[in-house]
Structure 1
């Protein structure tokens, strides 16, 4: 994560790479804490992921408009495009920029929720086989549950990395003065 954060080209945001590292550690911690039973899984809820994604994206947009308004407006129009296509390209680029907080937030919440649902279903099956005294099935499901927990721990770290990676890529579009 440190290497990716140091590649961030936003000279107008000099502390962005430090912020991305701290955000990665925080999101990884929240994701991993959510894997334990009876612990609230914060990153599975859209309100929390939107409260991270939307302000961070808005910070980048407002900062880029304040730093270089003409460069920000020019970034909505790809170079070399035919003039008759310009209005459509501006609309498409505006929509593309507008969905960025959604890609940050919905992806994190959906992926973490899906993993938690599968873990819950596995644990329900595990308890049913325990109470039915089906020891072979219980042993098999216990092994599957342990390996799936380790898999979800890896996914939790990957999801935090992808959130920070996307934020880093969005900050790379920040115009330089």
Structure 2
């Protein structure tokens, strides 16, 4: 039994034996996601054609940026986009641990991918990388302040990127939980109130499904836009 509305974000729930590690929740979620979308179960059907829609959308978006100059990055971003969508959808299911609501999970992808582009630019193009922190056409007396501002904004990118996804997914799950609690309690008081609350919950669930796709798209979109700052030959 969940003690409060935030218990759904706790990987160590109280209904399991105490000798089971919380890491098992992460492993089971990843294994389930891998098995469902394995090529062993996927055939050429309408289901696979639906799966190609988000991947093609993100692949076209990555081609509009400088990401194709980093070999292998478009395929990595498309895979990440599809995985985030499925993980966000899995978090909407009842009694399913929502991994994308945790900052640790989002930082696992946001920080290494951002850092890889920074290190690649600093190692292979050090002069162009350092020149990027000074906008062209700025007055001389303003240059030191602009360099500090650009440096801080660049360092804050992985934090804002990861926090945006975790905060939006957490807020949606909390609102769904609150509506569900009130809808359940209203079943014993008023049929009219319960019908209204269930209708609101159904509409909000559809809205949250759209949010799951939008947040995954924004996460990968910002990563692709960060590649525009990577110097090219």
Fold shared by both chains (TM-score > 0.5): yes
Q: CA deviation at 1:20?
A: 1.3
2:74 aligned with 1:17: yes
**1:39-71, Cα deviation, whole Å (9 max, x unpaired):** 001111111111111111111100111220000
2:99 aligned with 1:42: yes
Q: Work out the CA distance in 2 between the residues paired with 1:10 and 1:174.
A: 9
Structure 1 unaligned segments of length 5 or more: list them: none
Match of 1:169 among 225, 228, 233: 225
Relative contact order (alpha carbons < 8 A, sep ≥ 6): 1 or 2 greater?
A: 1
Q: Work out the CA distance in 1 between the residues paired with 2:231 and 2:112.
A: 19
Q: Work out the CA distance in 2 between the residues paired with 1:122 and 1:10.
A: 41
Structure 2 unaligned segments of length 5 or more: list them: 1-57
Q: Which moved more, 1:10-19 or 1:94-103?
A: 10-19
Asked if the contact 2:169/2:212 (under 8 Å) is kept, the reply is: yes
Aligned length: 176
CA RMSD of aligned residues (A): 1.1
| Residue aligning to 1:74 | 131
Counting only pairs closer than 5 Å after superposition, residues 53-64 of structure 1 correspond to structure 2 as: 53-64=110-121
2:140 aligned with 1:83: yes
**1:120-139, Cα deviation, whole Å (9 max, x unpaired):** 0000001101133x211111
Match of 1:141 among 197, 201, 206: 197
Asked if the contact 1:5/1:18 (under 8 Å) is kept, the reply is: no
Tell me the secondary structure at the aligned position of residue 202 of structure 2.
helix
Asked if the contact 1:24/1:160 (under 8 Å) is kept, the reply is: yes
| Residue aligning to 1:158 | 214
